[in-house]
Amino acid sequence: MSDNDTGPYFKRILCKAVSSTWDAVFANRPITIILGVIGACLAIYLHRRYGGQSSEQMNDALVSIAFGLIAYGVMFAVVFLAHFFYLIPKRMVHDAIAGRDAATFQLDRFAELHPVALAMDDLQAVYDEGERLLGAYYVEDSIKPTIIDLNNFQARIRTSARSKAWGGLITLNDLKRLEDTQPDENFLRLKCRFQDAGYLARLSESDLAIFDRLLLRVERVKELVSKIEQRENEQRGEESILDALDELKALRDEGDVMLNTFHTKGVSGRKPTKSAVEGYISRVEKAARRNVLRVSPNEWSEFQKEWPKQDAYEHVVSLAKRGCFSSNESEVFERLWDRVERLKQLIYRIEQREHRQNFTQP
């Protein structure tokens, strides 16, 4: 360990030791101790001047104060040494171990909950290593990657890409593409940039062959990372659509429950009021406007239309004959029934559209 390393460590122990010793010996701020000593000296002086104390008694009191301060100093030194050489280092080691254990637990927990994120970090690190190896070709006098470096890099690519954590994010075609050594248009374009800049002018045939394989491998990894990120975004979009559909279905069920209250006699106090129905309709429209649902203008226009009056009228007449609600409540029922039916229609159309898209997707 160098002097630069021991300096901060020594300073930390010194500060902690002084602070802990002061708390143990005095348990007060320095200003409190100083004021206490000044107060004791003032008391001795006033007693000598106005209390008839002799000069010898005053000297004895001052000597007692001095010996008391010396005793406190000795005690402070002993406690300080104990803290400096044993207690503080031991406490710092204990805190470091506790912090390490906590960090290890968090990493293990992260690995358990987010295996794909860790696999992506590893694959990204592999790509960064490839970029670092390619960076050697930008400097003329730098040491170029050897065949051993290339083989180690390719081994890391295979290990990272074949991790079980990927699940369906990496397919067999992706692994086949990763091993493909056939130069493509993108590879040729990148190689031309290196040649035009003069970075490959002094390379031997063997070094040039290593460069070709290395560049091709780095581009394959870059392509794979891009595919994985795209598939993750698509999965998150699908999950968002499912969440939005679940919200619409929950509102549909809530509407059915509200409608059922109109089918029972003598429970008018439990029936939804006009303001409650309007609030429900506002929540339905807000949920149906979510961009992730991709509701078309035609679908939205259809959703806004009123349901055919004849269907609603038949329900109203049937319930009125049974005495389930009064004429004042019929308007509320019609409004609620209209929106719930339109919501069911919209949910059906969204599900059919998603089903067709999933079916036709390659």
Q: Per-residue pLDDT tens for 48-63?
A: 666 666 667 667 777 7
Confidence band of 306 (pLDDT split at 50, 70, 90): confident
pTM above 0.75, yes or no: no
The whole-angstrom separation of Cα 289 and Cα 341 is 17
216 pLDDT tier (thresholds 50, 70, 90): very high
Q: Contact, 347 vs 304, CB < 8 A?
A: no
CA 121 to chain centre: 14
Q: Is the dihedral of CA 293, 297, 303, 307 positive or negative?
A: negative
pLDDT confidence band for 215 (50 / 70 / 90): very high
CA-closest candidate to residue 287, choices 254, 264, 322: 254
- Label residue 138 exposed, middle or buried (CB < 10 Å: 0-12, 13-18, 19+): exposed
For residue 182, what pLDDT band results from cuts at 50, 70 and 90? confident
Give me the pLDDT at residue 287, please. 87
Alpha-helical regions (H) of 197-326: 205-260, 274-288, 297-304, 309-321
Q: What is the pLDDT of residue 107?
A: 52
Tokens read off for 128: 């960064």
Number of neighbours of residue 203 by Cβ within 10 angstroms = 15
For 96, 262, 316, 317, 336, the CA distances from 312, given in Å and listed in that order, are 72, 13, 6, 9, 10
CA distance 130 to 45: 82
Q: Any idea what the Cα angle at residue 99 is, between residues 95 and 100, rounded to 5°?
A: 120
Residue-wise pLDDT tens digits, 70-86 = 877 777 788 788 877 88
Tokens of 305: 């239309």
Q: How confident is the model at residue 3 (pLDDT cuts 50, 70, 90)?
A: very low
Q: Tokens representing 330?
A: 């019929």
- Give the tokens for residue 190: 């990148």
At 151-180, the pLDDT tens digits run 999 999 999 998 888 887 888 888 898 888
